[in-house]
Chains A and B, each alone.
Chain A
Amino acid sequence: MPTGIGRAGFGLYLVVGALGGLVASGEVEAQETPREIIDRVDRILRGESSHGFATMEVVTEHWERSLTMEMWSLGTEHSLVRITAPRKEAGTATLKSGDDIWNYLPRVDRTIKIPASLMMGSWMGSHFTNDDLVKESRLVEDYDIEIGFEGFREGAEVWQFVLTPRPEAAVVWGRIDFEVRKDDLMPTWARYYDEDGELVRTLQYSQYREMGGRLVPALMVMVPHDKPDEKTLIRYSDLDFDIEIDEGFFSLRALQSGGD
């Protein structure tokens, strides 16, 4: 969930890239509060809309698999991910609309809504959760944000933000640490802690490349802390931003009709 910035999601992450040229003018002013910085990172990384392709590799103790997918997003409320390979699962799609997630299952030609109780369940067998898809835009609302570290790390000037949930926020993480490079506002990693302060998982960003005219981390790797041998990689192969797309594209009917 914690993905406002965590951009653990998919459609959303596309968004991540959203800066590109903006970065130059994206110099953060000194007086800005951590909240303003995060909000700014968030906005910059989020295009009005996006379209892209990615490969997801999931490695678990029991199996390894690779899925390719096509993704679309509009604002913070709408995203659609459609699996294109392997054959067995091609056509399977996930629609995010507001706080709801729907899965389209081509084999039975039916759409099911993911119940709230399963939001923390795995998305397509990966180490990302359904919740990661939904809560992308809520970090600034749900968390108090402070700067935990500011300075040079591994040759780059970074901020490390510490996000702690507000008392009334219905969130699953006890704390999120999030590192952002100062010069281009690129995220480098996010660490998710549970309510007892135990590290649960780490999301690592790398391979910053220009796609669709913006600088984006082309590779995201999620590693669960209790199973360090397992991981999920998402590799973006192509991204476009601010494309022509409307809300009708993210409807259940469109989801069911198969997109193409």
Chain B
Amino acid sequence: MPMEPWPRVGWRNLGRNRRRTVITAAGLAFGYFAIVLMNGLMAGMTAEMIENGTGFLMGQVQVHEADYLPQRSIYETIGGRDGADVEALVRALGADPAIEAAAPRVYAGGLVSSGESTTAAMLVGVDPELEPGVSRIFRGVVRGRPPVRGTKEILIGAEMARQLVVDVGEEVILVAPAADGSLGNDLFVVSGIFRSGMAELDAQFAMLPINQLQALAALAPDRVHEIAAATVDPWLAPDAAQRLAGPVSTVSTQAVVQPWTELRPEMMDYAQLAKSWGFVVIVIVFAIAIFGVANTMLLGTFERRREFAVIMAIGATPGAVLRTVLYEGLALGAISLVFGVLITLPVLLWWHNAPPDLGWLYGDFTMFGALIRPVLRVEYDVATALWAGLALLFTALLAALVPAARAARLLPADTLSGD
């Protein structure tokens, strides 16, 4: 069966007023560009938030005794008073395909003091060799270096260092209520100072070798409060946590495995909100575009009303005219889409690989306790790009509907005889 001529007619009609076609297509293309880029930026910010919020210290999966959070009581160690086989736990977590690395931690509230100044601190006992695989806290070291296993060294936040007026190499006193009721106290040397950009972390957190904190807090070496783990991708964490519940419960029946989505539900909510916003943006942008396109096409079909009258007079059906105009709209959409992809892709590639720094416009800020850098970071978002493309074609088609219907309803005799 020979192909009907109407798609071709529709396509060629676009060429009759090229300037108008280009302007209209540019409008649609730019709408597409805006949608894909904006969603990419939103996704970038969400990713930034999740990566920094979970990656800096928290990790994407954590194991605790069930009652440990949120009080962080020093007594609620994994496995209770008897402790647990920490190495076995770390191994069990590390064996999961989604887990990159795992490390044990001990927490104790205490005081850090130097000279006249004393400040309350959250002391975090970490394994200096395992910790870098899980969190980026050591990468935040701006002076000195992380503490070394087996030494009485401590890494403190920049704000704490400022408050205590101490620098690398100087001595601080740690005081912590110990698990046996005594007042643990000892001298430590500041091995390094970190800056995370997060006010709470920089002012209150201090990291020291895990065995040193256990000694200070009168906890046996097999008593830890947390195993933190990093996943290959943050979104793999919920499934990994579910898989790990079994192996972990064989070590301690009271222990729970939680992904960041449970530990920080507000981050999860934000990520979902950002995603749903993408669709709202698509609707808004194309709702605006639809009137511009419809207007142009109304004008175009009005100009050609005599033509339509002629072809209908010589035998074309109203349906054929309708299809011609619809095909024209679709073709316009297709051109716009190609154009849109062509202008979007390079910017997307550029901003994904080398996000422009907006540091001159605004500084770092934190959201849900996660640091957000002032950069235009763009994440690839294939789903949005596809949806936006479909929406663009649909918009063009929808905009052509009224002009097409009007053209199809022309009465040839009246149109040709009169005005």
B241 at the interface (CB under 8 A from A): no
Task: Give chain A's interface secondary structure class.
Answer: mixed
B119 at the interface (CB under 8 A from A): yes
Q: Hey, which chain B residues are within 8 Å of A64, CB to CB?
A: 181
Q: Hey, which chain A residues are within 8 Å of B175, CB to CB?
A: 103, 105, 112
B299 at the interface (CB under 8 A from A): no
Q: Is the CB of B173 within 8 A of A112?
A: yes
B185 at the interface (CB under 8 A from A): yes
How far is A114 from B180 in the complex, measured between Cα atoms in Å? 21
A 73-129 contacts with B by CB, 8 A: 88-89, 92, 103, 105, 107-108, 110, 112-115, 117-118, 122, 124-125
Q: Is the CB of A105 within 8 A of B185?
A: yes
The one of B113, B120, B173, B181 in contact with A60, judged by C-beta atoms closer than 8 angstroms, is: B181
Which chain A residue has the least Cβ–Cβ distance from B187?
Answer: A108
Q: Hey, which chain A residues are within 8 Å of B339, CB to CB?
A: none
The one of B180, B182, B183, B187 in contact with A110, judged by C-beta atoms closer than 8 angstroms, is: B187
A58 at the interface (CB under 8 A from B): yes
The one of B117, B119, B173, B179 in contact with A108, judged by C-beta atoms closer than 8 angstroms, is: B173
Instruction: With both chains docked as a complex, state the minimum distance between the C-beta of A171 and any C-beta of chain B, in angstroms.
Output: 21
Q: Hey, which chain B residues are within 8 Å of A114, CB to CB?
A: 111, 118
Q: Is the CB of B113 within 8 A of A62?
A: no
Contact with A along B105-121 (1 / 0, CB 8 A): 00000010100111110
Which chain B residue has the least Cβ–Cβ distance from A102?
Answer: B118
Instruction: With both chains docked as a complex, state the minimum distance between the C-beta of A125 and any C-beta of chain B, in angstroms.
Output: 5
B170 at the interface (CB under 8 A from A): no
Q: Hey, which chain B residues are within 8 Å of A107, CB to CB?
A: 185-186
Q: Hey, which chain A residues are within 8 Å of B186, CB to CB?
A: 107-108
How far is A114 from B118 in the complex, measured between Cα atoms in Å? 7
Q: Is the CB of A115 within 8 A of B183?
A: no
Instruction: With both chains docked as a complex, state the minimum distance between the C-beta of A116 and any C-beta of chain B, in angstroms.
Output: 10
Q: Hey, which chain A residues are within 8 Å of B116, CB to CB?
A: 113
Q: Contacts A115-B119, A118-B120; is A110 near B181 (CB within 8 Å)?
A: no
Q: Hey, which chain A residues are within 8 Å of B119, CB to CB?
A: 115
Q: Hey, which chain A residues are within 8 Å of B173, CB to CB?
A: 105, 108, 110, 112
Q: Hey, which chain B residues are within 8 Å of A125, CB to CB?
A: 177, 181-183
How far is A91 from B113 in the complex, measured between Cα atoms in Å? 19
Contact with A along B142-182 (1 / 0, CB 8 A): 00000000000000000000000000000001010101111
A253 at the interface (CB under 8 A from B): no
How far is A108 from B117 in the complex, measured between Cα atoms in Å? 16
Q: Contacts A103-B175, A112-B118, A113-B118; is A62 near B183 (CB within 8 Å)?
A: no
Contact with A along B10-23 (1 / 0, CB 8 A): 00000000000000
Q: Contacts A103-B175, A108-B187; is A115 near B120 (CB within 8 Å)?
A: yes
Contact residues on A (Cβ < 8 Å of other chain), bracket:
20 to 34
How far is A92 from B175 in the complex, measured between Cα atoms in Å? 12
Q: Hey, which chain A residues are within 8 Å of B180, CB to CB?
A: 63, 65
Instruction: With both chains docked as a complex, state the minimum distance between the C-beta of A207 and any C-beta of chain B, in angstroms.
Output: 24
How many of B's residues come within 8 Å of A, CB to CB? 19
Q: Is the CB of B113 within 8 A of A112?
A: yes
Which chain A residue has the least Cβ–Cβ distance from B186?
Answer: A108
Q: Is the CB of B75 within 8 A of A112?
A: no
Counted as pairs of residues, one from A and one from B, with CB atoms less than 8 Å apart, the total is 55
How far is A219 from B276 in the complex, measured between Cα atoms in Å? 65
B 180-202 contacts with A by CB, 8 A: 180-183, 185-187
Q: Hey, which chain A residues are within 8 Å of B111, CB to CB?
A: 112, 114-115, 118
Contact with A along B359-398 (1 / 0, CB 8 A): 0000000000000000000000000000000000000000
How far is A60 from B178 in the complex, measured between Cα atoms in Å? 13
How far is A88 from B215 in the complex, measured between Cα atoms in Å? 14
Q: Is the CB of A62 within 8 A of B118?
A: no
Q: Hey, which chain A residues are within 8 Å of B117, CB to CB?
A: 113
Q: Hey, which chain B residues are within 8 Å of A117, CB to CB?
A: 120
Q: Hey, which chain A residues are within 8 Å of B177, CB to CB?
A: 122, 125
Which chain A residue has the least Cβ–Cβ distance from B75?
Answer: A62
Q: Hey, which chain A residues are within 8 Å of B181, CB to CB?
A: 58, 60, 62-65, 125
Instruction: With both chains docked as a complex, state the minimum distance between the C-beta of B305 and any C-beta of chain A, in angstroms.
Output: 79
Contact with A along B83-119 (1 / 0, CB 8 A): 0000000000000000000000000000101001111
Q: Hey, which chain A residues are within 8 Å of B113, CB to CB?
A: 110, 112-113
How far is A114 from B186 in the complex, measured between Cα atoms in Å? 16
Instruction: With both chains docked as a complex, state the minimum distance between the C-beta of A244 and any C-beta of chain B, in angstroms.
Output: 31
Instruction: With both chains docked as a complex, state the minimum distance between the C-beta of B52 and any C-beta of chain A, in angstroms.
Output: 27
Instruction: With both chains docked as a complex, state the minimum distance between the C-beta of A86 and any C-beta of chain B, in angstroms.
Output: 8
Q: Hey, which chain B residues are within 8 Å of A61, CB to CB?
A: 75
Which chain B residue has the least Cβ–Cβ distance from A125?
Answer: B181
Contact with A along B69-84 (1 / 0, CB 8 A): 0000001000000000
How far is A38 from B162 in the complex, measured between Cα atoms in Å? 45
Q: Is the CB of B75 within 8 A of A89?
A: no
Which chain B residue has the least Cβ–Cβ distance from A107?
Answer: B185
Q: Contacts A103-B175, A105-B173, A112-B113; is A89 near B183 (CB within 8 Å)?
A: yes
**Cross-chain pairs A/B with CB under 8 angstroms, 22 sampled:** A61-B75, A62-B181, A63-B179, A63-B181, A92-B183, A103-B175, A105-B175, A105-B185, A107-B185, A107-B186, A108-B173, A108-B185, A108-B187, A110-B113, A110-B187, A112-B175, A113-B113, A113-B117, A113-B118, A115-B111, A118-B120, A125-B181
**New A-B pairs, 5, CB < 8 Å, besides A89-B182, A105-B185:** A60-B181, A108-B187, A114-B111, A114-B118, A124-B183
Interface residues of A (CB under 8 A from B): 58, 60-65, 88-89, 92, 103, 105, 107-108, 110, 112-115, 117-118, 122, 124-125
- Pairs A-B, 9 closest by C-beta atoms: A112-B113, A63-B181, A105-B185, A125-B181, A65-B181, A108-B187, A115-B118, A110-B173, A112-B118
